[in-house]
Amino acid sequence: MSGNIRKISMKWIAVELLVIALIGLVFGFLGPFGTYAMPAALRLAYWVGFIVIGYAIFRPISISAGWLRERIVMPFWAAELMATAIAALPLTFLIGFAISGMRYDPSFLGDRFLILYLQCAVIGFGIFLFMRLLFGPDGTEKESEPLPDRKPSTIKPESVKIEPVQTKLHDRLPPGFSEAIIALGVEDHYVRVHSAERAEMLLMRLSDAIGEMEPLEGMQIHRSWWVARDAITGTKREGRNLRLTLFGGLEVPVSRAYVTKLKHSGWI
């Protein structure tokens, strides 16, 4: 199983690299930021080379920003802007070193460095947005998680009553909240705890709330959602997007990175 997952991961990287190289060719033909004066062959090599190098720098930092975003419930754009600001620094140094004739030039560390840094950041963030639009909102790093053997679906009909399971999270909820928890959803810095009849807000991180859900069986299916297994009553397709329907009519989005895992686990 691990071998197949690795193969898929490398194939995905190869696809991204192909798209990145094509973006570099487009920049090479256009010759922005004063590079059009360069000889055509050198200009194409310059842009394709540094766009690919930029991908090698930006991609791991962007993945790390995604992990951080899920861990501390950081807003999506804040995490990606932070990743862009960090990744643009080493790329600026590399381009500056090349422009200076492959030697250290102290005069480059002034306004020229700042201008080049802003250019790298803008281009990097623009390419990131383009890749998101092209490949969707979710990364592929979660595909590396091992999947269990596929099991038959255990979706329950609405007519079947959910038995409440007392969890540690119930201790944080108002007195009288004894219903079965069917889902947890992130709203700003809060977690909304859903039952079929009501919902309550708690000031905490989603990861901490999930840690207090034992012994209730559930799974995080989106960076902002966790659902209880017994609460799923059906699924809905909206184009390429999948949503789970839960008891009480609540609909929850599923990140594409989790769809295969849900199927192999027998949840849907």
Q: What are the residue boundaries of the structural domains of the chain, listed by start?
A: 2-143, 148-264
Distances in Å between the Cα of 262 and the Cα atoms of 152, 219, 245, 255, 268 are 11, 9, 14, 11, 6
Is the pLDDT higher at 245 or at 164? 245
CA 6 from centroid of its chain's CA atoms = 19
Of 1-5, 164-168, 253-257, which range is least confident? 1-5
Residue 71 confidence class, pLDDT cut points 50, 70, 90? low
Closest CA to 224 of 246, 256, 195, 255: 255
Distances in Å between the Cα of 55 and the Cα atoms of 50, 79, 167, 226 are 8, 17, 44, 32
pTM beyond 0.75, yes or no: no
CATH for 148-264 is: 2.40.50.1020
Residue 151 confidence class, pLDDT cut points 50, 70, 90? very low
CB count within 10 Å of CB 239 equals 5
Among residues of the chain, what percentage have pLDDT more than 90?
26
- 131 vs 118: CA distance, rounded Å: 20
- 184 vs 224: CA distance, rounded Å: 8
